[in-house]
Amino acid sequence: MTVSGAGAAVSIEGLHKSFGDLQVLRGVDLEVADHEVICLIGASGSGKSTLLRCVNLIEPIDAGRIVVEGDEITAAGVEVNAIRRRIGIVFQSFNLFPHMSVLRNVTLAPVKVAGTPASRAEADARELLDRFGLADKAEEYPDRLSGGQQQRVAIVRALAMQPDIMLLDEVTSALDPELVAEVLDVIRELAGAGMTMLIATHEMGFARDIATRVCFLDDGVIAEQGPPEQLFGDPQQARTRQFLARIVAAGRM
């Protein structure tokens, strides 16, 4: 089924989401073109994570629609598992499977969901691990890796399904400061390779550096968006300026 919004990698229209009485998203509209890297910034609780979780269908939405590569994924009766295969998500807390080796973490979905033969999936996984400097960690268990290594494995695990788009949900927030860079480097490499990405982040320097577009979420809507140099250098909205001033005051930019 093809609807308007075709051509865009992701098209979000009038997205509403509440948890009980708490309205988290109150009409979000966003178009993401192929190969675009969009950074979502905003205070904690502004709805960044919820937006990503809705795009991955982890959270059912209340109103609006989401179209991915021309298919409306929020329509009734869609095959949820098939859609999720095309959308990779990486979480703040890694969520690796602790009872499986790194290699099994990466090959689980390709083998069980995509039906890739195990030997083929393993070869692919080792190639990906190698690409992100994790070749020697393939047989390790997640608990034996550093936070940065775990998060890189989580990114590799999502990439193994060859998604059309990657959603990154504050992937460096749970890391010690000295481990942030190795994860950001991985994301930078993905951006360089043309991966379409939607990134919720508190790393303003990184957002300015990598994003093709930055969206400032406030009060459940996208209050302002634009190229990073404009949004960080010359924000139009008063609340964007306030938010950025607080970030600067906190020494985070």
**Is the separation of the CB atoms in 187 and 199 below 8 Å?**
yes
Indicate which single residue of 3, 75, 113, 245 sits in contact with other proteins (rule: CB under 8 A). Answer: 113
Q: Does 78 bind other proteins (CB under 8 A)?
A: no
| DSSP H helices in 17-79 | 48-55
Nearest alpha-carbon partner for 108 in 160, 58, 144, 147: 160
Closest CA relative to residue 27, chosen from 75, 73, 66, 63: 63
Q: Report the residue from 68, 89, 168, 197 that binds other proteins according to the rule CB under 8 A.
A: 89
Alpha carbon distance, N-terminus to C-terminus of the chain: 44
Are 33 and 69 within 8 A, CB to CB? no
The residue from 3, 82, 118, 135 that contacts other proteins (CB under 8 A) is: 82
Residues 17-56 touching other proteins, rule: CB under 8 A, are: 56
Kindly state the DSSP code that residue 225 receives in the 8-state scheme: E
- The residue among 144 and 246 lying less far from other proteins, judged by its C-beta, is 144
Residue 252 as a binder of other proteins (CB under 8 A): the answer is: no
CB of 31 to other proteins, least distance (A): 23
Site string for other proteins, 54-73 (x = CB under 8 A): --x-x---------------
In the complex, least distance from residue 162 CB atom to other proteins, rounded to whole angstroms = 11
Q: Residues 179, 85, 37, 126: what is their CA dihedral angle, to the nearest 10 degrees?
A: 40
Contact residues for other proteins, defined by CB under 8 A: 56, 58, 81-82, 84-85, 87-89, 91, 93, 95-99, 108-109, 112-114, 141, 143-144, 157-158, 161
